[in-house]
Amino acid sequence: MLRSRYTVIGTLGTVEARYRLGDKTVDVEISVNPFKKISILVANELSGRLFTTMEIDGRIINNIPPWLEVDEPVRFHSPSLRLSMHLSPVDGCKMFIGREVLGKRLDWAGASYQLSDGVEKISYRVSFDWST
């Protein structure tokens, strides 16, 4: 049986996150100070059980893969909530999108930004829309 567990590895650096809430937006600013060269991912995730479809460049995707690099804006849809989350690529980052639902272990859908070497600060906007 596969089990998740946490292991103490020591401090790898510091991260400061700032959020500014708007009516249908969240402006995010992330500053990082890694103590050594490491890969840094900034995740933006919602429930994969609720957000089941995605739109990229006008194409609707019903079977969202677990890890896909994209360079276009993406919109995650929750048909049951009638809510969408929008994210766009960020300068200085690779953008990965995906969805995984597996029993009680995995339940996520969203986008992650992987900071390029030397990038220590990013800013981006997450937008939400209600469907009618």
Residue 44 located in a structural domain: yes
Domain that holds residue 107: 20-130
pLDDT, one tens digit per residue, over 96-116 is 999 999 988 899 999 999 999
Cβ neighbour number for residue 28 with a 10 Å cutoff: 19
Q: Which residues have a Cβ under 8 Å from the Cβ of 105 and sit 6 or more positions away?
A: 2, 4
- Residue 119's pLDDT band, with cuts at 50, 70 and 90, is very high
Residue 74 located in a structural domain: yes
Average of per-residue pLDDT values in the chain: 94
Residue 3 located in a structural domain: no
pTM to 2 decimal places: 0.90
Residue 79 located in a structural domain: yes
Helices then strands (H, E): number in the chain?
Answer: 0, 11
- Residue 4's pLDDT band, with cuts at 50, 70 and 90, is confident
Extract the tokens encoding 86: 């929008």
In the chain, the number of structural domains is: 1
